[in-house]
Amino acid sequence: MKNFIALMCLAIAACSGPQSSAPEATVESADEFVSRVNSELKDMGIESGAIGWVRATYINHDTAILAARSQEKYAAWHSKTVAESLRYDGQELSPATRRALDLLKLGTSQPAPNDAAKRKELAEVTTELSGMYGAGKYCPDDGRECLVLGDLENTIAKSRDYDENLDAWTGWRTISPDMRDKYQRFTELANEGATELGYGDLGEMWRAGYDMSPAEFETETARLWNQVKPLYDELHCHVRAQLSDHYGADKVPTNGPIPAHLVGNMWSQTWDNIYDLLEPYPGVADLDVTSTLVKKNYSPQEMVRSAESFYVSMGFERLPDTFWERSQFSKPQDRDVQCHASAWGLDGGNDLRIKMCIKQTYEELGVIYHELGHNFYQRAYKDQTPVFQGGAQSGFHEAIGDTVVLAMTPSYLEEVGLIDGVELSDEAVINDQMQRALAGVAFLPFAKLVDEWRWGVFSGDISPENYNSAWWELREKYQGIAAPVERSEDNFDPGAKYHIPGNVSYTRYFLARILQFQFLQALCDTAGHEGPLHECSFYGSKEAGKKFNAMLETGASEPWQDTLEKLTGTREMDGGAIVNYFRPLMGWLKEQNSNRQCGW
Q: pLDDT tens-digit profile of 176-194?
A: 999 999 999 999 999 999 9
pLDDT at residue number 10: 36
DSSP assignment of 32-63 equals HHHHHHHHHHHHHHHHHHHHHHHHHHS-SHHH
Q: Which of 387, 374, 385 is nearest to 504 (CA)?
A: 374
pLDDT at residue number 45: 85
Report field, pTM of the whole predicted structure over 0.75: yes
pLDDT at residue number 143: 82
Q: Which of 427, 377, 421, 368 is nearest to 400 (CA)?
A: 377
Domain ranges within the chain, ordered by starting residue: 4-108+115-131, 220-315+362-600
Burial of 135 (0-12, 13-18, 19+ CB in 10 A): middle
pLDDT at residue number 76: 87
pLDDT at residue number 544: 97
CB-CB neighbours of 280 under 10 Å: 20
Give, as one character, the DSSP assignment of residue 320: P
pLDDT at residue number 71: 85
Measured distance CA(557)–CA(384) in Å, rounded: 8
Alpha carbon separation from 445 to 126, 230, 237, 265, 270 (Å, rounded): 26, 12, 15, 15, 10
Using CA atoms of 77, 79, 82, 87 in order, give the dihedral in degrees to the nearest 10: -110
Instruction: Write out residues in the chain with pLDDT < 70, as ranges.
Output: 1-26
pLDDT at residue number 12: 34
pLDDT at residue number 26: 62
Q: Which of 81, 73, 90, 76 is nearest to 386 (CA)?
A: 81
pLDDT at residue number 340: 86
Active site residues: 340-341, 370-371, 374, 398, 499, 509
- Strand pairing partners for 259? 482
Q: How many helices (H) does the chain have, and how many strands (E)? A: 25, 6
pLDDT at residue number 420: 84
Rounded (10°) angle between helices 116-134 and 180-196? 140
